[in-house]
Amino acid sequence: MELHELSIQQAHELLSRREISSEELTRAFLARIQRLDPRVKSYVTVSDELALEQARAADQRIRAGESVTPLTGIPYSAKDSLSTRGVRTTCSSKILENYKPFYDCTAIKKLKSTNSVLLGKTNMDEFGMGSSTENSGFFTTHNPWNFDYVPGGSSGGSAASVAAGLAPFSLGEDTGGSVRMPAAFCGVTGLKTTYGRVSRYGLLPLVSSFDTIGPMARSVYDVALVLEAIAGHDPKDSTSRGEMPQLYSESLKKTEDLRGLRIGIPREYFVEGLDSEVDAALQTAIKRIEAFGAEAVEVSLPHTPYAIPVYYLILFAEASSNLAKYDGVRFGLSERNVDNLLELYLKTREKGFGAETKRRIMLGTFALSAGYYDAYYLKAQKVRTLIRQDFQQAFENCDALITPVAPTTAFRIGEKITNPLDMYLSDVHVVAVNLAGIPSLSVPCGISNGLPIGMQIMGPHLSEEMLLRIGHMYQSETDWHTKHPPCWND
């Protein structure tokens, strides 16, 4: 078995028995990135020197017999919206092309404290604005299953790096499907965490009330290992949840069936526009889950058709506020050939932001401007309440919900980029979760024309343990998550 094929669990066992070193493992990934990533284009920055330093520190720790966790010495990639001390953090935007944070975000800090090895930072749609990584200010990431197709977005680089064997796991970030959708398109497992389950401190914000950091890996078990390491309360993020994270991986080992669980199938998620092969894959997957003793029941989330307009209106508004800080004064791009401060703002922002970012800043500024606030932003926040109530009511009748992650498999590069509204509509199955702040797991459940299909399992706030159990049971008797793209052996 090649080193890039190891799961976190397998690599951990070999490291513990000192059959391999973290430096060896890290060098294997760095060499593979150098060889294969020019075609996949999942990384914006490869932090090779730092990675080798971290790997050697991990090896020392293992040799010294110090407390070792399942992630000690394991390499990983992180979406480029997570601050990394001394490592360029760009959000795939030209306005932050040379920005090096002086601190780590809490999730990265936690991985550092257990001597995980950061390989580099992954490509994304600029500031998370997109569903394909085509809105990256630098380049488009390719889907490892077929280089002519998008990897999904916005954490497309993270998903592609895991699918192509360029990292055993990645930290992604999900504002409106940005972990789940690329996970589905690239055939990996991804978890959108409960809002507040993982600290947002040091995450460059897109929509502060939607943003969540979550793991992406090649199995539910590996996702559980990463979640254990990054979850928990953080005094530096007042919205982080105080409840202690569970030992998710331990609970998976004990799971034998899903008896007693009621799985809701929301009828509004299986409607016109859903690809027939995606639909068929989901029906088969639901039957599998029923075979473990769970009971499937039809439920309704009646306000589903309003999720996309609500999501985008709130996103436009909050993003336009969050992006006001990029003004060329304290960090980032700065157009200095100007006569006064106002010109500095105007020229820096015009040059630094891409088309989609400008479009959303414009729409948000409009939605928040005098005279329109009630009609757009306030109205959207009210309908958001109704969408949350839909989920609360559904969870009175069932424990979890199962739906597709996306209505289709990955689309072709270039297919939707000229029509922003068409691109927004590809998020139809994922955004409501962020409006409600609930967790949701994306698990591979089929392949159509050589491209992966994803199943979404949603649950109430802080139900990660249950979602992982359902996903793990499913993966214990299916092999979709073990299938690899053609470039796997390159």
> Which sequence positions are flagged as catalytic?
79, 154, 178
| Backbone angles phi and psi of 458, in degrees to 5 | -110, 150
Task: Please identify which residue in 36, 285, 380, 468 interacts with another protein, judged by CB under 8 A.
Answer: 380
Q: Based on the shown chain and the rule CB under 8 A, indicate whether residue 244 belongs to the binding site for another protein.
A: no
Task: Please identify which residue in 34, 271, 362, 490 interacts with another protein, judged by CB under 8 A.
Answer: 362
Q: Are 145 and 485 in contact (CB under 8 A)?
A: yes
Task: Please identify which residue in 255, 338, 478, 484 interacts with another protein, judged by CB under 8 A.
Answer: 338
Sole window of 75-83, 163-171, 211-219, 364-372 interacting with another protein (rule: CB under 8 A): 364-372
3-state secondary structure the chain: CCHHHCCHHHHHHHHHCCCCCHHHHHHHHHHHHHHHHHHHCCEEEECHHHHHHHHHHHHHHHHCCCCCCCCCCCEEEEECCECECCECCCCCCHHHCCCCCCCCCHHHHHHHHCCCEEEEEECCCHHHCCCCCCCCCCCCCCECCECCECCCCCCHHHHHHHHCCCCCEEEEEECCCCCHHHHHHHCCEEEECCCCCECCCCECCCCCCCCEEEEEECCHHHHHHHHHHHECCCCCCCCCCCCCCCCHHHHHHHCCCCCCCEEEEEHHHCCCCCCHHHHHHHHHHHHHHHHCCCEEEEECCCCHHHHHHHHHHHHHHHHHHHHHHCCCCCCCCCCCCCCCHHHHHHHHHHHHCCHHHHHHHHHHHHHHCCCCCHHHHHHHHHHHHHHHHHHHHHHHHCCEEEEECCCCCCCECCCCCCCHHHHHHCCCCCHHHHHHCCCEEEEEEEEECCEEEEEEEECCCCCHHHHHHHHHHHHHCCCHHHCCCHHHHC
Task: Please identify which residue in 65, 238, 244, 272 interacts with another protein, judged by CB under 8 A.
Answer: 238
Q: Based on the shown chain and the rule CB under 8 A, indicate whether residue 4 belongs to the binding site for another protein.
A: no
Closer by beta carbon to another protein, 16 or else 385: 385
Closer by beta carbon to another protein, 158 or else 357: 357
Q: What residues between 447 and 486 interact with another protein by CB under 8 A?
A: 461
Q: Based on the shown chain and the rule CB under 8 A, indicate whether residue 277 belongs to the binding site for another protein.
A: no
Shortest distance in whole angstroms from residue 195 CB to another protein: 6
x/- string (CB under 8 A) for another protein, residues 415-454? -----xx-------------xxx-----------------
Closer by beta carbon to another protein, 59 or else 356: 356
Q: What residues between 292 and 331 interact with another protein by CB under 8 A?
A: 303, 305-306, 309-310, 312-313, 320, 324, 327-331
x/- string (CB under 8 A) for another protein, residues 96-135? ---xx-xx--------------------------------
Q: Based on the shown chain and the rule CB under 8 A, indicate whether residue 31 belongs to the binding site for another protein.
A: no
x/- string (CB under 8 A) for another protein, residues 205-234? ----x-------------------------
Closer by beta carbon to another protein, 81 or else 116: 81
Q: What residues between 142 and 201 interact with another protein by CB under 8 A?
A: 195-196
Q: Based on the shown chain and the rule CB under 8 A, indicate whether residue 273 belongs to the binding site for another protein.
A: no
- Ramachandran quadrant class, 159 (left: phi over 0; alpha: psi -120 to 50; beta: rest): alpha
Site size toward another protein (CB under 8 A) is 71
Shortest distance in whole angstroms from residue 358 CB to another protein: 6
Sole window of 18-26, 51-59, 267-275, 378-386 interacting with another protein (rule: CB under 8 A): 378-386
Shortest distance in whole angstroms from residue 337 CB to another protein: 10
Q: Based on the shown chain and the rule CB under 8 A, indicate whether residue 340 belongs to the binding site for another protein.
A: yes
Shortest distance in whole angstroms from residue 312 CB to another protein: 7
Q: Are 228 and 473 in contact (CB under 8 A)?
A: no
Closer by beta carbon to another protein, 121 or else 142: 121
Shortest distance in whole angstroms from residue 389 CB to another protein: 9
